[in-house]
Amino acid sequence: MKRKKVTVVGSGNVGATAAQRIVDQDLADVVLIDIIEGVPQGKALDLLQSGPVEGYDFSLIGTNDYKDTADSDAVIITAGLPRKPGMSRDDLLLKNYEIVKSVTEQIAKHSPNAILIVVSNPLDAMVQTAFKVSGFPKNRVIGMAGVLDSARFRTFIAMELKVSVENIHAFVLGGHGDTMVPLPRYSTVCGIPITELLPKEKIDALVKRTASGGAEIVGLLKTGSAYYAPSAASVEMLEAIFKDKKKILPCAAYLEGEYGIHGLYVGVPVKLGKNGVEEIIQIKLTTEEDAALKKSAAAVKELVEIIKV
Q: Is 176 a catalytic residue?
A: yes
Listed in sequence order, the residues at least 6 apart from 155 whose beta carbon sits closer than 8 Å to its beta carbon are 165
Instruction: Locate the DSSP E strands across the chain.
Output: 5-9, 29-33, 60-63, 74-77, 115-118, 141-143, 168-169, 172-173, 181-182, 188-189, 192-193, 247-256, 262-273, 276-280
Residue among 110, 169, 176, 262 flagged as catalytic: 176
Report the run of H or E that residue 106 belongs to, with start and end.
helix 93-110
Q: Distance between CA atoms of 234 and 112, rounded to whole angstroms?
A: 20
User: Which alpha helices (H) appear in 111-224, and where do they start and end?
Assistant: 123-134, 146-161, 200-211, 213-221
Q: Dihedral through CA 124, CA 130, CA 131, CA 135, nearest 10?
A: 170
Is the Cβ–Cβ distance between 116 and 140 less than 8 Å?
yes
Q: Distance between CA atoms of 168 and 187, rounded to whole angstroms?
A: 7
- Strands, sheet with 168-169, edge to edge from the N-terminal-most edge strand: 168-169, 188-189, 192-193
Q: Dihedral through CA 299, CA 304, CA 305, CA 308, nearest 10?
A: 180
Q: Which of 232, 214, 207, 265 is nearest to 92 (CA)?
A: 214
Catalytic residue positions? 176
